Amino acid sequence: LEFLKEKILSNGQAIDEHILKVDSFLNHQVEPLLMQKIGKEFALHFLKEKITKVATIESSGIAPALFTALELNVPLVILKKQPSKILNNDFCQTEVKSFTKGNTYNLTVSKKYINSNDHVLFIDDFLAYGEAALGALRLFEKLSAKPCGIGIVIEKSFQPGRTKLNELNIPIYSLAKIKKMTKGNIIFND
Ligand code: G4P
């Protein structure tokens, strides 16, 4: 997706071989027009999947996921990293170990918002080691919902997430795929 690649090249910053800083448009300051274009692109790509819910993980996935949900005219469900006291016992949970952040959290969702009738599209800002996405998919499985697609804004193809997700046979659409990074330099796959 050319507009996103251009944005990454002009405003992103490879701080080392592993981490791309995108604070100015994606995960600290957020550019609504860019998010809207991203939402339209995901919605168009997954239109035939008859999506009933878009899901993401708090917090940086919310902006692109919300615009996708808006385009598809379905609700957005935000998977929580911390269980809320108001969820009572009516929730589903799975443990996620983040390699990127070096922490562990309980990914949580209320059973009220995703169920066996749902066709779910999972959207996230980054695909790195893929543990967050795998955690989300475990939740959908526990809830007997059908995962119909995975939409990623920036895939770091040199990290193992993509290979792990490929094994699941769920359609994956990454808008920008990064092949390699060095400090100050970003190379895309295509
Ligand atoms: P992983 O730990 O298995 O790698 O999971 P995932 O690929 O989902 O990445 C975990 C977290 O690290 C995510 O944030 C993701 O946005 C962030 N992340 C991964 N690679 C990069 C990167 O190159 N640059 C930046 N800026 N972030 C990256 P999160 O846990 O969802 O937290 P939040 O920041 O969205 O609140």
Closest C-alpha to ligand 1, atom 12: 100
What pairs with residue 104 in β-bridges? 97
With 0-12 / 13-18 / 19 or more C-beta atoms within 10 angstroms meaning exposed / middle / buried, residue 22 is: buried
Mean predicted confidence (pLDDT) in 81-86 = 73
Residue among 25, 126, 163, 178 whose CB has most ligand 1 atoms within 8 A, to mutate:
126
User: What percentage of the chain exceeds 90 in pLDDT?
Assistant: 91
Task: Return the ligand 1 atom nearest residue 60 CA.
Answer: 35
Task: Phi first, then psi: give them for residue 105, nearest 5 degrees.
Answer: -145, 160
pLDDT of residue 89: 74
Predicted confidence (pLDDT) at residue 84 exceeds the cutoff of 90: no
For the chain, the straight-line distance linking the first and the last C-alpha, in angstroms and rounded, comes to: 10
Q: 31-40 burial by CB neighbour count: b if 16+ within 10 A, else e?
A: eeebbbbbbe
Predicted confidence (pLDDT) at residue 35 exceeds the cutoff of 90: yes
Residue 85's pLDDT band (cuts 50, 70, 90): low
- For residue range 41-59, list pLDDT tens digits in order: 999 999 999 999 999 999 9
With 0-12 / 13-18 / 19 or more C-beta atoms within 10 angstroms meaning exposed / middle / buried, residue 103 is: exposed
